[in-house]
Amino acid sequence: MPDVPMIEMTHVKKAFGAVSVLKDISLQVPRGGVVALIGPSGSGKSTLLRCLNLLTIPESGQIRVGQSRMDFTSGHKLPGDRELAAFRARTGMVFQNFNLFPHMSAIENVMAGPVTVLKTRPEEARAAALALLDKVGLRDKADVAPDKLSGGQKQRVAIARALAMKPEVMLFDEATSALDPELVGEVLAVVRQLAAEGMTMMLVTHEMAFAREVADTVVFMRDGVVVEQGPARQVIDAPNEPSTQSFLSHFHNSALPAQR
Ligand code: ADP
Ligand code: MG
């Protein structure tokens, strides 16, 4: 079904107390699409990704990832724990602060999900984990503990760990924001490779040049609303909305490629 979007959010709303954080968000990502989600701090970007992963449960609306659909419209029964876990397994999530298990080696981090959740045999999970560490350039770090790895290496282990669950989509929430500048490139290279392989992805990022290069679509959010979305180069080089223009003007010009 090439025409059915891989990710679909329809009229999703979420409030924390009196604060409405997602105000009726609808968006779609086609299979193999890469969407960069940009916007000021507090605009709801993380909440949007967390709703896709059901780490945060929307109050209303529908969410579909691949063939799996959840309806949060009032009157629908909320999903049970097993249903939530199954849904969540379809989306790999990578966080700003890596969230690796500190007491496990790199390869044990990558194997843990398949062994405990998917019930993969350990020797099979180990072979798959080694192949994934190889893919992210860390085969030689398989037995190293997270505290002996650089931030860029930790984040690449975290990506391998997410991929080990064979997700249908990958979500990145500021995956390079905690990294020293010289380590950003090695993580972006892995994301770029996943994009080239056709992985469907949504990335929250402040790397505007990267968003422009790797994303097909850029979505600009402010105050819980999608203000503007369109082809990445158009939104970043020539945004239509004043609030998008204002947001992008805060990025140093050298972070953006020369305008054509
Ligand atoms: P962004 O990722 O764009 O910076 P967030 O989605 O993290 O924005 O947050 C959007 C708003 O929701 C902020 O005002 C934030 O304080 C609030 N918020 C996020 N998570 C929670 C929570 N668990 N409880 C209360 N407020 C929250
Ligand atoms: Mg955030």
Q: Which residues contact 217 (CB under 8 A, 6 or more apart)?
A: 29, 33, 34, 35, 36, 229, 230, 231, 232
Residues in Cβ contact with 97 at an 8 Å cutoff, skipping those fewer than 6 apart: 178
Question: What are the pLDDT digits (tens) for 179-201?
Answer: 999 999 999 999 999 999 999 99
Q: In angstroms, what is the span from residue 176 Cα to ligand 2's centroid?
A: 12
Read off the CATH number of the domain in which 222 is found.
Answer: 3.40.50.300
Ligand 1 atom closest to Cα of 48? 6
**Ligand 1 close to Cβ of residue 44 (< 6 A):** yes
pLDDT tens profile 110-165: 999 999 999 999 999 999 999 999 999 999 999 999 999 999 999 999 999 999 99
Sheet holding 91-94, edge to edge: 91-94, 169-173, 200-204, 34-38, 217-222, 225-231
Closest ligand to the CA of 172: 2
Least Cα distance to 190 among 105, 92, 104 occurs for 92
**Is the beta carbon of 41 within 6 A of some atom in ligand 1?**
yes
Of 47, 53, 93, 203, which is best to mutate to test ligand 1, by the most ligand atoms within 8 angstroms of its C-beta?
A: 47
The verdict on residue 140 lying in a domain is: no
Q: pLDDT averaged over the chain?
A: 93
Number of domains composing the chain: 1
Contact 195, 210 (CB under 8 A): no
Q: Are strands 91-94 and 200-204 parallel, antiparallel or unpaired?
A: unpaired
Of all protein residues, the one whose alpha carbon is nearest to atom 26 of ligand 1 is 16
Ligand 2 centroid–CA 121 distance in Å is 36
Is residue 198 domain-resident? yes
Task: For 25-62, write each residue's pLDDT tens digit.
Answer: 999 999 999 999 999 999 999 999 999 999 999 999 99
Q: CA–CA separation, 107 vs 63, rounded Å?
A: 32
- Look at residue 156 and tell me if it is in a domain: no
Give pLDDT tens digits for 237-254: 999 999 999 999 998 655
What pTM does this model have? 0.94
Ligand 1 atom nearest to 17, measured from its CA? 25
Residue 113 forms part of a structural domain: no
217 has a pLDDT exceeding 90: yes
Phi, psi of 5 (to 5 degrees): -60, 150
d(CA 98, CA 83): 25
184 inside domain: yes
Q: What is the pLDDT of residue 1?
A: 54
Residue 222 Cα distances to 109, 124, 246, angstroms: 35, 45, 11
Q: What is the dihedral of CA 122, 125, 129, 130, to 10 degrees?
A: 70
Question: CA 126, 128, 130, 132 torsion: positive or negative?
Answer: negative
Domain annotation covers residue 172: yes
Task: Residue 58: give the domain boundaries.
Answer: 7-90+167-255
**Is residue 205 in some structural domain?**
yes
Query: Which amino acid residue places its CA nearest to atom 22 of ligand 1?
Result: 16
Render pLDDT for 70-113 as a digit per residue (tens, 0 to 9). 999 877 777 888 888 888 889 999 999 999 999 999 999 999 99
Span from the CA of 204 to the centroid of ligand 2 (angstroms): 8
Residue 138 inside a domain? The answer is no
Average pLDDT over residues 1-6: 78
